[in-house]
Amino acid sequence: MLRIGMLTSGGDCQSLNAAMRGVAKALYSARKDVKIIGFEDGYKGLIYGKYREMSDSDFSGILTEGGTILGSSRQPFKLMRVPDENGLDKVKAMKDNYAKLKLDCLVILGGNGTQKTANLLREEGLNIVSLPKTIDNDLWGTDITFGFQSAVDVATNAIDCIHTTASSHGRVFIVEVMGHKVGWITLHAGIAGGADIILIPEIPYDIDKVVKKLEERNKKGKNFSILAVAEGAISKEDAALPKKELKKKLAENPYPSVSYKIGKEIEERLGQEVRITVPGHTQRGGSPCPYDRVLSTMFGAEAARLILNKEFGKMVAMKNNEITSVPLEEIAGKLKTIDPECAIIRDAKILGIGFGD
């Protein structure tokens, strides 16, 4: 009997179910003696023994379904070795439940924090295979993560919808896109949606440069402008502050988010009406786009191959348009950011898109 545990951890995204389905279908096709145990609510289920035995019917009809049938939760990596409020050793509890269920491998689907804990469990002797899930596309070792393209589609649609109302009223619109530390969604959605200015964490902005770009558009007879702004966008002034000072400044910030701060500054300097749109968690929701359905299915099949070949301690990845895998110890804790000098930024600037720098 091949006994496989499975869990989804961290923020949800549109292709988690499709990825789990890919793993399960490939395993069921290869062997008749497969038992899959699903842990509920991410690592919390593994810690506290919340699980259920699954059958092939559980993985039927979920290819197009968003969210996760197992549920998810955020369990910060930095607290994994800190006992819970009852003194429970979380790492020991996870190992004990793995052993109690006589698992041959644990399949983990998640982003940066999830992969760090997956590597921790690998170091503790558990057989681990992980899959790269995050809408932010910021996992080191893979060119793309599942969930990213679906989030880009949602954010792009938001920008598309803003165009008509922006042009009708001659306003400046700011669309705030998810991405605290990296700007992959904002960059791709901004270009796809025809944004005039794109502000991302990797390129600290100068508000004077932003206003100058808007003034140039006004002089050309463009009566509206659209800014795609990552929620983690930061001014050059703030980026130069020591971390402690920046944290204090952000805590005292009167604005709900950076977009409202930028909007206020534009109104004061330009005298033009500004409106803010925040798609928020809609970027995580809904049905996965066709690209993500294919990608996550292929990732799932590769995860099954790794399990069957007993190639543990790896994360499935895409490199140079090929499905492959990378050792967990090489990618855990590393963030994939946008190089400000990369080709896509360079070409966007050639097109006239401003980045506030």
In a domain, 356, yes or no: no
- Quickly state the pLDDT bin for 166 (edges 50, 70, 90): confident
CA-CA distance, 129 to 144, in Å (whole number)? 17
pLDDT digits (tens, 9 = 90+) for 5-56: 999 999 889 999 999 999 999 999 999 999 999 999 999 999 999 999 999 9
Q: Based on the domain organization, do 58 and 142 belong to the same domain?
A: yes
Kindly tell me if the per-residue pLDDT of 187 is higher than 80.
Answer: yes
Residues 60 and 167 in one domain: no
The average pLDDT across 324-331 equals 97
Phi, psi at 318, each rounded to 5°: -115, 125
One domain, residues 217 and 140: no
- Residue 70, pLDDT score: 96
Q: How far is CA 165 from CA 169, 246, 291, in A?
A: 6, 36, 30
Percentage of the chain lying above the pLDDT 90 cut:
88
Q: Judge if 201 and 306 occupy the same domain.
A: no
CATH number at residue 313: 3.40.50.450
Structural contact between residues 150 and 292, judged by C-beta atoms closer than 8 angstroms: yes
What predicted TM-score, i.e. pTM, was given to this entire model?
Answer: 0.94
Contact residues for 287 (Cβ-Cβ < 8 A; gap 6+): 14, 64, 65, 66
User: For the chain, give me the number of helices (H) and strands (E)?
Assistant: 13, 11
Same domain, yes or no: 175 and 43: no
Give the pLDDT of residue 41. 96
Domain count of the fold of the chain: 2
Residue 47 lies in a domain: yes
The answer to whether 51 and 106 have CB atoms below 8 angstroms apart is: no
- Residue 279: what are its φ and ψ, rounded to 5°? -60, -30
Domain that holds residue 92: 2-147+288-331
Tell whether 350 is covered by a domain. no
Residues 45 and 125 in one domain: yes
Task: Judge if 279 and 308 occupy the same domain.
Answer: no
136 in catalytic set: yes
**Catalytic hit among 12, 136, 138, 196:** 136
Task: List the single range of 80-84, 129-133, 167-171, 234-238 with lowest mean pLDDT.
Answer: 167-171
The DSSP output letter for 1 is -
- Residue 74 CB neighbours (<10 A): 14
Q: Which bin fits 338, alpha (ψ -120 to 50), beta or left (φ > 0)?
A: beta
* Statement to judge: residues 305 and 260 lie in one domain: no
Q: Do 65 and 165 lie in a common domain?
A: no
Q: Give the domain CATH number at 198.
A: 3.40.50.460
Extract the tokens encoding 274. Answer: 């500004």
